[in-house]
Amino acid sequence: MTLNLTTRDQAMQAGEYGPAVKMAMRVLVRMAEVYKAAELMDISAAHIDSTIYIGEAGLEFAERLAELGAQVAVPSTVNVSGLDEFHWQEWAVPEDWARNAYRQMVAYQNMGCIPTWTCAPYQTDMRPQFGQQIAWGESNAIVFANSVIGARTERYPDLLDICCAITGRVPAVGLHLTENRAGDILINLEDVPVTLQNDDSFYPVFGHLIGKIAQDRIPVIDGFKVKPTEDQFKAFGAAAASSGTVALFHIAGITPEAQTIEAAFQGKSPVEIVDITMSDLWDARRDLTTADGQQLDMVVLGSPHFSLAEFKELSPRLQGNHVHPGVQFLVTSSRSMMLLAEKAGYLESLQAFGGRVTVDTCILATPMLPPEIKTLMTNSAKYAYYAPGLLGTEVTFGSLDDCVRSAIAGRIVRDDSLWEL
């Protein structure tokens, strides 16, 4: 298929809109050819994941665009950075890392990005609307925007998201188009009791399982007896987008493009039907834990970034208690969410408990943990999934209650009762 560019696209490619637009358009056009797109289309917002500092190349790419005068053409939020510029000196972040990660933040801010610095941009003022065409990076944000909101984004990789934001254009392919948003496989949840469906820790575990089952196919889930909260959807999507390539899911009768199962499949038949059993869920939950003992150095919450509602959930569990002296207790969130939590009084109870907050980044995106932290506990499937490979730590997955109880006890305490057959 040949790519048809508009006169304006061609002018951008030829450099008539300046060298930064030219550079972005060159990459975009080459990628449009990879996607076999027939044309480009407009977007009205972007979320930039390229802000995470990984090394020299990503920084050089950002600074080259910024030096060429790049400006985003649509409102663009930014994902986490490689630095909590307010608290990094309290941790093990090396100075040269801090300097480089900060330079990368400055480059994206100079391009006109809105300094949200969060992996949960759907929980900010910049939340997109149903049907809105957007170019979002960050796997958990992509799946939330597509599935829960019904906005439309392909699964954008780092470096392409900013090229889309600068040109305001994307290849007209994939999840931007209605026909590619139909379900592929049907997941039946009938056998999972409502008591478990009501529990927060069900969502990351179920997401982890769905990512493995669905891989790169669109799952349609039937048999929900409860309506999940925003934060439960967030935990589910982040898990499925870590263990799999899930960029869109439908939940029959609940998510906006799945009023009915038939609507979710756009009249097609599922290519596979999978019944979820308690034994599948037990195995998925076990798979999220790599640690084999009771040793615990840190409890960490907030991947994706903690919301105000999650601070509210946490707060009463901490009151009157204190973290064990051998354990650190950390919540990762964004600068704006931390301010809201502070105004609401939730930060005070966290501090009284002996816990701390890191903002704008997370333990996976900045080298903040000192080497003596070897074992983590978390209620986040995303942390549980990536920490062993990125940090070399062992990890235990548990519910929010398990995490708080373990932090107080100074060793792993878990309640398995909901998960037993």
| Residue ranges binding another protein (CB under 8 A) | 23, 26-27, 30-31, 34-36, 49-50, 52, 54-58, 60-61, 64, 137-139, 142, 155-161, 211, 215-216, 241-245, 287, 290, 364, 385-386, 388-390
Q: How far is the CB of 180 from another protein (least distance, A)?
A: 14
From CA 266, how far away is CA 180, in angstroms rounded?
10
Of the two residues 244 and 270, which places its CB atom closer to another protein in the complex?
A: 244
Q: How far is the CB of 23 from another protein (least distance, A)?
A: 7
Q: What is the DSSP string of 46-60?
A: EEE-TTS--SHHHHH
Q: Would you say 183 and 219 are in contact if contact means Cβ atoms under 8 Å apart?
A: yes
Q: How far is the CB of 205 from another protein (least distance, A)?
A: 15
Of the two residues 113 and 404, which places its CB atom closer to another protein in the complex?
A: 113
Residues 6+ apart with CB under 8 A from 256: 130, 148, 149, 150
Query: Any idea what the Cα angle at residue 10 is, between residues 4 and 14, rounded to 5°?
Result: 145
Q: How far is the CB of 341 from another protein (least distance, A)?
A: 27
Q: How far is the CB of 403 from another protein (least distance, A)?
A: 21
How many other C-beta atoms are found inside a 10 Å radius of the C-beta of residue 284?
25
HSE (CB half, 13 Å, CA atoms) of 404? 16
Of the two residues 23 and 357, which places its CB atom closer to another protein in the complex?
A: 23
Of the two residues 105 and 347, which places its CB atom closer to another protein in the complex?
A: 105
Q: Is 105 helix (H, G, I), strand (E, B) or coil?
A: helix
- Tell which residue, 306, 314, 270, has the closest CA to residue 405: 314
Q: How far is the CB of 340 from another protein (least distance, A)?
A: 26
Of the two residues 161 and 199, which places its CB atom closer to another protein in the complex?
A: 161
Phi-psi region of 320 (alpha: psi -120 to 50; beta: other; left: phi over 0): left
Handedness of CA 291, 294, 298, 301 (dihedral sign): positive
Q: How far is the CB of 362 from another protein (least distance, A)?
A: 12
Place of tokens 């170019």: 135
Of the two residues 187 and 258, which places its CB atom closer to another protein in the complex?
A: 187
Q: How far is the CB of 100 from another protein (least distance, A)?
A: 12
From CA 378, how far away is CA 303, in angstroms rounded?
9
Q: How far is the CB of 267 from another protein (least distance, A)?
A: 24
Please report, for the chain, how many H helices and E strands are present, in that order.
16, 14
Q: How far is the CB of 57 from another protein (least distance, A)?
A: 4
**CA distances (Å), 264 to each of 73, 168, 252, in order?**
33, 29, 7
Of the two residues 181 and 405, which places its CB atom closer to another protein in the complex?
A: 181
Q: Would you say 7 and 15 are in contact if contact means Cβ atoms under 8 Å apart?
A: no
Of the two residues 58 and 128, which places its CB atom closer to another protein in the complex?
A: 58
From CA 345, how far away is CA 315, in angstroms rounded?
9
Q: Is 177 helix (H, G, I), strand (E, B) or coil?
A: coil
Of the two residues 64 and 127, which places its CB atom closer to another protein in the complex?
A: 64
- DSSP state for residue 419 in the 8-state scheme: G
Q: Is 81 helix (H, G, I), strand (E, B) or coil?
A: coil
Residue type, 117: W
Of the two residues 194 and 390, which places its CB atom closer to another protein in the complex?
A: 390
